[in-house]
Structures are given as structure tokens and as C-alpha cells.
Structure 1
Amino acid sequence: MTGNDLNIDRFAMASALVERAQSHKEWIGDDHGDRYEEALVSGAIPEEMQIVIKEIFDHLRAALDYCAQEVWRHFSGNPQGAKVYFPIAKKGTRENEFLSIMNRLMPGVARASSPAYEAFKSFQAFADQDNSWLPELATVVNQTKHFHLQVASIPQRSIVFAHNGNGVSLMSFAEGHAPSRGTAPWMMIKATQSEIERGGTFDVAFLQLTDIQMELRLFLHEAISGVSRVIEECRKLVT
């Protein structure tokens, strides 16, 4: 690590990357007339949107690594020249397996600071299912690096409209057709208004990240919010 490295405000750089990711998310949009809707209507994902999504993922992953590097520098800094990355436990990893992951990617930190170890452990999916975005982000970043990621697709999903005794419309996904997590996505229902009012089962379309089976807008919200929280918590560790 050089003298110039010591002067880098990695948390500021991480925050700037998250701001850039948020700006890209807003470019995609989630309202009528936005690029999200244009992709639904056309049935195709523009190349430019694929590039923007790749940039969002790369920015968020880099922001996490900046946090890990700053925490490592504060509590350990050894061995010099170590390749430090944010530790991410794959889905299915047990809590007692995490220490070895952190020791490999942030050497010396767990031994030097129990609060730092507990904080990084709390970010993992095994600690809270709301952190599922973290291993999913690792999945899409790794796929993107190898150019195997189909950023989004237009899956056909069956949705059921019905009416209760008071005439209120009820909407639900047919069995096996709901998104893997979250509520109903921002989607296009392939039916006329009169068909919907009568009720029935219809096809819908929404943008989905194929490698993690998540609707695009929801995942971006989870990941951007999650990385922002990580930056805040890591900053607290070193101040």
C-alpha cells in the first residue's frame, strides 16, 4: 500500500458509485413512457439498457470492495499488498463457515475487531433473508464479467383476476408463476380492460434478471439500498 493509497477516501468513492448506480436506475425508469415500459412494449431489451445494467452491478460491487478495503486498512493492513474484497457468503452458507471467508478476503480484521467481524456477518443472507440481494449481486456480477448474463428477459407469467363479494378486484399469480421475492412487479398485463373486469387468467410481462429470477426494478432497489446501508455501517466502524 503506497502513501497515495492512504489518502484515498474510500467511503466517499463508494458513495459516489452508489449515486451513479441510482442515476442509472432512474435512467431506466419505472413509469409510463420510460425505458422500462418501452422494453416491455417492444418485447426486446435494448443493448444500451444491458450496458447500463452491467454498469450498475459493477458500481455496486466496487462500492462494497471499497468499504472492505477501508475497514481492513483501519484494523489490519497486513499482509501488505493483500487483495482485499468484500466477503459474500453464497446462499446456503452456514454462519459457522463465514469466519474462513472473511479471513481469506479481509485478513486480520476478524481477529483485530470483534465488532467489525459481527458487522460483516450481519450483512450476509444467512443472518437475515432481507440480505438475499447480496449473494444475488455477486451472482450477476460474476456472470457479467464472463459475458454470460442475459441482463433481462420478458417472461410470460400467468396472473389471475377475480372479484370478491363486494365487487373488489383481487389479483394473484397463478401457482408457480409469482416472482421469487417481493410483491407484484411493475408489469404489463396482456388483456383489455373489459377482460380484466370480467376476471380470468392472463399473461403478463416484466423485466427479469434471468440468473437470479428477480424483477429488475425491485432488485435494483434492494441492492442500492443495501449497499448504502453497508457504507454507513462500515463508516461507523472506523470513526
Structure 2
Amino acid sequence: MSLHLLLVEDDTTYAQGLAAELRALGHRIEHVGDGRLALAAMDREQYDTVILDRMMPRLDGLSVVEALRARGITVPVIMLTALSMASDKVDGLEAGADDYVVKPVAAEELNARIHAVMRGRRWTTSENDTIRAGDVVVSPASFRAWRGGQPITLANLELKLLAELARHAGEVLTRAMLIERVWGYDFEPETNIVDVYIRRLRIKLTEGGGADPIETIRGIGYSLKP
């Protein structure tokens, strides 16, 4: 499947090599060298996925992701960086990135991650698919969620994760199950991506002062209280 990708990378030599390899895999690539140019490009074009360097001049990758999500732009973002500390990965994911890859990365692996992110976004529901678990209500068809009758603003993957937990309220879902069903991976990534998104969900679900409805099953996974 040919995709339209935006590569945001200030190392021109590295970007040219990676872009050439991705083009050889059938993708259309646009390359820009800093965060401000990336935001401008996304104002005028639609992309299937953004491959975003973290450390750049003028505007870094974290700031770009935060700006996109603040605007309600839900394009998948894979953060590409030389930083490999777990805390750096968590920062990227909490800012709104969908995945985090340490460079240099083989084009074939990056391609697989791009398709995994895209699969995770292509989830379908019926128009009357409304899920209730206690005072939590999720409507995947309209991309909306409520708690106690109050709307909750969720990013696409946050909504999908909450919907999956709500569909199986009272059941324990392992991290591997959630990764496969929400992100579309058939492997467990090195990052603690599930824990990061659960943390984000908990913050948003308890903003109104209610008790945390998500139970942690230590060493196994999570369960939404029915």
C-alpha cells in the first residue's frame, strides 16, 4: 500500500537516505527540515503518517506533536530519535505520538511500524455502537465519550483504548491483548505504550473528581470496573 508520508528530519544526509529507502518501498515522501516547516506542510497537505525527529532547531518534535494534538489533528505520528532512554520514549508518547523508534532504523522496520499504526486507526463500528460501563459511555461511531454525563475529550487511540476496556468491563485485558486490538501490533513493542495511554486515560476520566474506574492487575494488565 502506497502512503503519503511526511518526514521531518534536520539531518539532511540521513533524511535523504531514509526517504530513498521508503520510496523504494512504494511510498510518496515529502521531507522538511524543522518543526515549523512541518506544521506549515500539514496546514496545506494531508498525510497518512508523519515521521518526526525529536531533536530539531526552531521547534522540536515534542512541541510539534503537542501543537498538532491541540489543534485536533489526529494524523498518526511516529517519533524518530537518537534518544533511547525510557523516560524519553514516555515523553514522546505522552505528548501524543503513536509510536517511538530509535534511529538509525531499517526502512523495513519503520515501514512495518507505519502499517501497524495505520491498522490501529482503521477500526469500524456500527452507527448504534454505544458502550456503557458504569458511568462511562463510549460512542466509537461518533468518536465521543462521557463520564457521569460529562463529555471527555479523547485522542483517537485513547478513545479506542477506552472502548476496548468498556466492551470487556469486568474482564482483565492483558497488555499484549490491548496492543493487538488497539494498536494493531502482532508483537509487543519495547516501549510501555499501554501504560502511558492508561495513565492519560486515568487523568481524563478523573478530571471531574470521580474515582479511578480502571483497575491495574499487577503483572498482567488492566480492567475497567463494570
- Same-fold call, TM > 0.5? no
* TM-score, normalisation: structure 1: 0.25
Higher strand share: 2
